[in-house]
Amino acid sequence: MNARPDQLIASCGFGAIGRAQFLRFAAGAATLAMTGVSGPLRAQVAAPLAPESRTKLSTTPMLSRRIPASGEALPVIGLGTWQGFDAAPGSDEYCRLPAVLQALFDAGGSVIDSSPMYGRAEAVTGELLAAAGSRAKAFVATKVWIRGRAEGLRQMNESLRLLQTERIDLMQIHNLVDWRTQLATLRDWKAAGRIRYLGITHYTAAAYGELEAVIRAERFDFVQLNYSLDERDAERRILPLAAERGMAVLINRPFGGGGLLRRLRDRPLPPWAGALGATSWAQLLLKFVLSQPAVTCAIPGTSRPEHMADNARAGAGHVPDAAFWRRHAELFSV
């Protein structure tokens, strides 16, 4: 059963406070995350900053790129929910998540990507959006990941229930599983208005041969795939093909699955990072991904509001072109 907003609030130990106070808590936590506050002061987020204070701390608007199928503008940094949103109600991890979503929205982002294979991520996303009344701010993407038409219908209807929505913005065929069967259903659902866009996904270069054949053979609105500084195979054929076919592109694993950031974290930022407006390795790596003009939105996963806020800053300011990175080849020796 989906949690009611008052049950969600109680599960995080906020007692009988009202919905408006809960939203102020989430907003206050997100504001502190965006200003880089840590330590004892961060523990005081239960007394959030007033709205006028948050306005003073607003950041540069996030860039957006057009979805070729419709012309709709989509903010360039979103949120992946794998692992981070698979959290039990009342846990410390769960109670951080309202501030993660608030940090995304405060920065001008909207894309939230989930899947039935991500444990409780769909349910948690639905609970938090309902509790905050923020469904209209979100571009909700999820996936069908099963074989057979009947099972696909069952799974997609369950996603609607868990996400507490009547329409999903983007439904994707996850990892090419039974894609012919599921594509027929997705087309029916799009015609009926139950989904707005349809797409297909994968997360490894080993599948690019099949992925290329599929997107050459059929029409999709979106493709989601991995691309990062140390996983660059997509730039050879898949990204140019997506542009040729008029497909929007979501990028998963923009940090190379996390290992890339771990290798870089003890290294100083290159001296030219400041000229890009990048103040962290995460921002620099996301700007590298966004340098590909075919990329519509990158969706790094996180369960921490300070990381969401930091990631979102990569979507503001200057994004260099691919030639810039060729002039700074030293970054590739990671």
Banded model confidence at residue 87, pLDDT cuts 50, 70, 90: very high
pLDDT at 60: 79
- List pLDDT tens digits, range 220-259: 999 999 999 989 999 999 999 999 999 999 999 999 866 7
Is the pLDDT confidence value at 46 over 50?
no
Q: What is the pTM of this model?
A: 0.87
Domains of the chain: 60-332 (3.20.20.100)
Banded model confidence at residue 327, pLDDT cuts 50, 70, 90: confident
1-5, 66-70, 102-106, 108-112: which has the minimum mean pLDDT? 1-5
For range 191-207, the mean pLDDT: 96
Is the pLDDT confidence value at 331 over 80?
no
Stronger pLDDT, 312 or 10, i.e. the higher one:
312
pLDDT at 258: 65
Q: Average pLDDT over the chain, rounded to whole?
A: 87
For range 171-200, the mean pLDDT: 97
Q: What percentage of the chain exceeds 70 in pLDDT?
A: 81
Q: For the chain, what is the HEC assignment?
A: CCCCHHHHHHHCCCCCCCHHHHHHHHHHHHHHHHCCCCHHHHHHCCCCCCHHHHHHCCCCCCCEEECCCCCCEEECECEECCCCCCCCCCCHHHHHHHHHHHHHHHCCCCEEECCCCCCCHHHHHHHHHHHHCCHHHCEEEEEECCCCHHHHHHHHHHHHHHHCCCCEEEEEEHHHCCHHHHHHHHHHHHHCCCEEEEEEECCCHHHHHHHHHHHHHCCCCEEEEECECCECHHHCCHHHHHHHCCCEEEEECCCHHHHHHHHHCCCCCCHHHHHHCCCCHHHHHHHHHHCCCCCCEECCECCCHHHHHHHHHCCCCCCCCHHHHHHCHHHHCC
For range 177-184, the mean pLDDT: 97
